[in-house]
Structure 1
Amino acid sequence: MKREFDKLYINGEWVKGISENVIPNQSPFDHTDIGSITAASKEDLDKAYKSAEKAQKAWADEPPQAKRQIMERAVSIVEENKELIIEWLTNESGSTYMKAAGEVSVSINSMKEAATYPYRMDGKILPSQVPGKENRVYREPLGVVGIISPWNFPFHLAVRSIATALATGNGVVVKPATHTPVTGGLLFASIFEEAGLPKGLLNVVVGKGSEIGDDIVTHPIPRLISFTGSTEVGRRIGELAGRHLKKTALELGGNNVFIVLDDANLDQAVESALFGKFYHQGQICMSINRIMVHKDMYDTFVDAFVARVKGLNVGNPSDKSTHIGPLIDQDQVDRILKDIESSKDQGAEVVLGGNADKNMLYPTVLTHVTNSMPIAKNEIFGPVAAIIPFNDDEEAIRLANEHPYGLSGAVHSSSIERATNVAHRVETGMIHINDEPVNDEPHMPFGGEKDSGLGRFNGEWALEEFTTVKWLAVQHKRRDYGPFIEKR
């Protein structure tokens, strides 16, 4: 695997972008310069899509064992270079060591799942209403997939689409987030190049959204746009794709609830909330946004939770004992601090934290929060816990569904039946009993409802997103078209 990255990857070659823009790459922790990349232009993007289109036709005809072999080689390369990838994630995205290690592990599992797809491109033979006819349904690749990867879990959230698209016979063009051009894109060019992927199938273009962001969606070649990121940008992508009749797989923002019923195990709930809120500084689409606690447990929960938060280690993400590292940039810190101040003005109380040092926002806990405060209405995407009291199950469900997101969630109760009944009524794509919302298993459907996105990743559901089906009918016996055809 390569260790230095300063070029794009187009048609199996490492090439310099021809845009006038340069993408700087700096550590979010100490702003160390990691390198810079000359950005891709619209011309570079066009070359990438045309390369993918040309290479895809032969790739689609490759037997399943050939596709699987390359996917398995790619898995081995990731396993062999795990520490290098962790180092890149720490330096480029501010991931703590424990988060980066976890991200690589879940990525390997996603790649292993994708390696099974070439043998799961199944079809069907179905009966026909017409005598002598046989109906066949074939599953086929879409052609070319455009992938826009995010900066928060760049390696995993890129590879779940890259590996799926390639394994199902598609060509790929990836545009990683400019904060994470290597871990969200260029690393995969190196991995799959070493794995023996045919030239042109996988292309990585690093560029500004203002220069090529719309074009990656509106270009005539891609049939599917896979995007993970904010709801605001997802709406724009959906609008552009709809005009051009393209499929979209959109995993967008979340306002995930963590509901603690009055019969919950306190210690278990506190531990789950600690992980679900502060893992990767809360910069995860599935992170807890609102901790909702029954009024009879509220004070006890807050005391126990704050005590545990005080024990989190804050600092250099490369230190293996660090729990909380930096946010990706200063803009994120400023945005969150503004929501904290506005919520304080409306009656919220900061019982811990609320301060920052450059990109480092210290773990923060707010109490006396209501559902209408900015810290509860907006997706936090940072290490800030907003704790909301509720009176009964019905109020908890109403509050949970009051905002227009529905990605993930959790319910804690000593009664599985009671928790399940509550969970069923929360409008969300995923929800977990006596656990936290940050869960992703490669064989389970991953995606949201409402403003949290469209479509599902992983398992058989990803097969549906990244492929299409063709109905091919065979008339084995001469058909009688009735009175339309004159009898002779």
Structure 2
Amino acid sequence: MNGATQYSKQFIAGKWQEGSSQQTIVNRNPFTGDIIQTIVCASVDDVNQAYEAAKSVQKDWEATTPAHKQDILNRVIDGMIRRRDEIVKWLVEEGGSTLAKANIEWQATIYTLREAATFPYRVSGKILPSNVPGRENRVYRSAKGVVAVIGPWNFPLVLAMRSIAPAIATGNTVVVKPASETPVTAGLLIASLFEEAGLPAGVLNVVVGKGSEIGDPFVSHPIPSLISFTGSTEVGRHVAEIAGRYLKDVALELGGNNVLIVLDDAHIERAAEAAAVGKFLHQGQICMALNRIIVDDSIYDDFLDLFLHKVGQLGVGDPWSESTMIGPLINHEQVTRIERDVEQSVRMGAHCVLKGSVEGNVMHPTVLTEVTNDMPVAQNEIFGPVAPILRAKDESEAITIANDSMYGLSGSVFSSSLERAVHVAKQIQTGMIHVNDQSVNEEAHVAFGGEKSSGVGRFGGEWALDKFTTVKWVSVLQNYAEYPFFAKG
């Protein structure tokens, strides 16, 4: 059983089974509108079954050797390589990825798995000195237990795997609720890869369902101790509220309003190229995508001319075309939302110097100038192919504009002076920022996460290792303690 047939079922306790909800999810190709599959949704009972399955095998899985865990992850990598064409096809057809973006995501997922495959040998403890004579302080590190993962639709494979692989590598078991727009690439395909690699039944479970039916119960269920969520800030706040009520740990990677600051001494053409890529890769549907391009007033017009020239070279349309940079948005609701923000911003004084047409779910690039921070396209996370360009009279004002946002995920700074750029970068309130590059960057061994309303916690490398494990202090006293309350004898 392969393809859309297999991926129309839930994956619970090592078995592919029909959901028991009365609701269905219709999975559509966002470019053609064609129905890929119809999935009978998971019910609350299915969610409970998945959590119970994960709990029942967690201690056994944690007790397996590091070599065995690593071997499973390496076999998943082998499967990723062998099934590359299938994976790319699903990313294009289900999520509207262009070929370029799909291949970038496939490679990033490989790197994520390779980093996670080192974790079984990196779960280490410590022995610390004590101020009590004859005492030894031991700190043991162990798995959190059962981890809940809520996967996104924009980079579904790598962003779901970013939690799944480290969690499994450190001895946890996992239940995944993939985004309804990408149930295969954010969950079911991943389950297939791990099943093929020989992962024991119950270690990884995937439940596909409507947020209105299973969303809150998925988070509030008593079994999972950590909720990992990637998605919008609005939904992330709701997840955090429920998790906080039950004192569950969270790993939240949320929205962004990322800036590219172009200082007066920047290499303008290189900055324009980076701006075009950082803004329009995957149609701007990336949490790290550039949302505001802040340009020093002295070079504003020159930058704009070059930027418009670069944008004009980007292919738009069919995601299967190798020349396409900008494919479809995930659904037409996103088109409507973005058009509304653009129209309101223009009414507030923004100049539309490039107005992109709309064909189905495909939006051609739109460029707005004279944008100010109070306009919707500057305040909101656009998540689409609209580039707002803001003026700054100097470096200080650029920093002020950049920080005038509730978000703080990624960003970039362009300057011919690296130290000046670093000086500016350190003043931007954000979890990640890149000098002389665009904002969409991720490396599996480096801390990934945001500040303010862009999230809680960090993914990647040793930071993921910390997030998916817990520590326990065990003190060992060589001789019995003498307490002053009792008579000797």
Q: TM-score normalized by structure 1?
A: 0.99
Are 1:166 and 2:148 counterparts?
no
Which of the residues 447, 450, 456 maps onto 1:448? Answer: 450
Unaligned runs of 5+ in 2: none
Tell whether the 8 Å contact from 1:259 to 1:410 is kept in structure 2 after alignment: yes
Q: For 1:6 and 1:381, locate their aligned partners in 2 and report how far apart those are by CA, in whole Å.
A: 28
Deviation readout 1:16-66 (Å, 9 max, x if unpaired) = 000000110110001111111100000000000000000111001001001
**Which residue number corresponds to residue 487 of structure 1?**
488
**Which residue number corresponds to residue 320 of structure 2?**
318
Tell whether the 8 Å contact from 1:131 to 1:479 is kept in structure 2 after alignment: no
Are 1:425 and 2:406 counterparts?
no
**Which residue number corresponds to residue 192 of structure 2?**
190
**Which residue number corresponds to residue 65 of structure 1?**
67
- Output the amino acid matched with 1:116: T
- Large movers: runs of 4+ above 6 Å: none
SS of residue paired to 1:248: strand
- TM-aligned CA deviation for residue 426 of structure 1: 0.4
Q: For 1:85 and 1:388, locate their aligned partners in 2 and report how far apart those are by CA, in whole Å.
A: 39
**Which residue number corresponds to residue 11 of structure 2?**
9
Q: For 2:64 and 2:191, locate their aligned partners in 1 and report how far apart those are by CA, in whole Å.
A: 20
Which of the residues 116, 132, 135 maps onto 2:134? Answer: 132
**Which residue number corresponds to residue 471 of structure 1?**
473
- Output the amino acid matched with 2:3: R
Q: For 2:28 and 2:480, locate their aligned partners in 1 and report how far apart those are by CA, in whole Å.
A: 70
Tell whether the 8 Å contact from 1:337 to 1:354 is kept in structure 2 after alignment: no
Count of paired positions: 487
**Which residue number corresponds to residue 202 of structure 2?**
200
Are 1:341 and 2:343 counterparts?
yes
- TM-aligned CA deviation for residue 319 of structure 1: 1.4
- Output the amino acid matched with 2:59: K
Q: Percent identity?
A: 57
Are 1:363 and 2:398 counterparts?
no
- Output the amino acid matched with 2:197: A
- TM-aligned CA deviation for residue 485 of structure 1: 2.2
- Output the amino acid matched with 2:47: L
- TM-aligned CA deviation for residue 3 of structure 1: 2.1
**Which residue number corresponds to residue 292 of structure 1?**
294
Tell whether the 8 Å contact from 1:132 to 1:478 is kept in structure 2 after alignment: no
Q: For 1:146 and 1:236, locate their aligned partners in 2 and report how far apart those are by CA, in whole Å.
A: 15
Which of the residues 21, 31, 49 maps onto 1:29? Answer: 31
SS of residue paired to 2:295: strand
Which of the residues 149, 154, 157 maps onto 2:156? Answer: 154
Q: For 1:321 and 1:413, locate their aligned partners in 2 and report how far apart those are by CA, in whole Å.
A: 30
- TM-aligned CA deviation for residue 354 of structure 1: 3.6
- TM-aligned CA deviation for residue 403 of structure 1: 0.8
Q: TM-score normalized by structure 2?
A: 0.99
Q: For 2:442 and 2:473, locate their aligned partners in 1 and report how far apart those are by CA, in whole Å.
A: 33
- TM-aligned CA deviation for residue 355 of structure 1: 2.7
**Which residue number corresponds to residue 272 of structure 1?**
274
Say what the alpha-carbon RMSD is for the aligned residues: 0.8
- Output the amino acid matched with 1:485: F
**Which residue number corresponds to residue 441 of structure 2?**
439
Which of the residues 262, 265, 269 maps onto 1:263? Answer: 265
**Which residue number corresponds to residue 242 of structure 1?**
244
- TM-aligned CA deviation for residue 300 of structure 1: 0.5
Q: For 2:360 and 2:445, locate their aligned partners in 1 and report how far apart those are by CA, in whole Å.
A: 39
**Which residue number corresponds to residue 417 of structure 2?**
415
SS of residue paired to 2:238: helix
